[in-house]
Structure 1
């Protein structure tokens, strides 16, 4: 029962972290696209990059308490996952927007939720912040 409780608590904290990172991501995306006139796909890329920085810091300290892992190894693994996340978010938003004609913010929201749960959380939990037999422990 305790393990399930910890798993649920970690997932909930990860979702809070993702929400904060998404606020940064969407805020920067909207600023670039709607205020500065940057193409929405480029704005999505910069927003995802910025949100990723915030997410990594929060996850390291608060969500996964990864203090026992060397920062350089966490950073290297995070970059691998982050590149995938940025690619999925950017290409997914662009593709869904172009295929459906819906507003890019709606497309971005749909893609962001899918990527957050299906890619980011899973990869961070099992690869980036995993305490198993990984290099650099």
Structure 2
């Protein structure tokens, strides 16, 4: 039962990440190609938009961690914001490295960077820190 729930949570988190990520990537392309912003600035803006989508889906569907206590959501938002700042920084820096050092188009460099950041940084922090469910919450959700 535990494994099945963990796999389901992981898969649902990937759906949330995909929806936030596709929005993030699309807005980045729009801002860079149409509005001619440098891709590092586009990543900052698009990452924020994608993060709002990702947070909402994670909170209400993936982890179902929806306590109505304002201090609880404020804590989740603060933690999530820190993860997003780290994520955006890693994505901007990684994309820049791929583009400058390896002459890889920023769109491809961004996709490569996203794979590492999503699985190695975002998912573990979101699951085990932002939306961590303690034993008391787990008992309530099981009922």
TM-score (norm 1): 0.92
Structure-1 residue corresponding to 2:112: 110
Give yes or no for the alignment of 1:53 onto 2:37. Answer: no
CA RMSD of aligned residues (A): 1.3
Aligned ranges for residues 30-69 of structure 1 at < 5 Å?
Answer: 30-68=29-67
Gaps of 5+ in 1: none
CA contact 1:48–1:89 (8 Å) conserved in 2: no
Gaps of 5+ in 2: 136-143
Structure-1 residue corresponding to 2:97: 95
The number of equivalent residue pairs is 132
Structure-1 residue corresponding to 2:132: 130
Residue by residue over 1:6-37, the C-alpha shift from the partner in whole angstroms, topping out at 9 and shown as x without a partner, is 00000000001111001110111010111111
How far did 1:41 drift? 1.4
Larger radius of gyration between Structure 1 and Structure 2: 2
Where does structure 1 differ by over 3 angstroms across 4 or more consecutive aligned residues? none
Return the alpha-carbon distance in structure 1 between the equivalents of residues 105 and 42 of structure 2: 14
Task: Using the TM superposition, name which of 69-78 and 15-24 deviates more.
Answer: 69-78
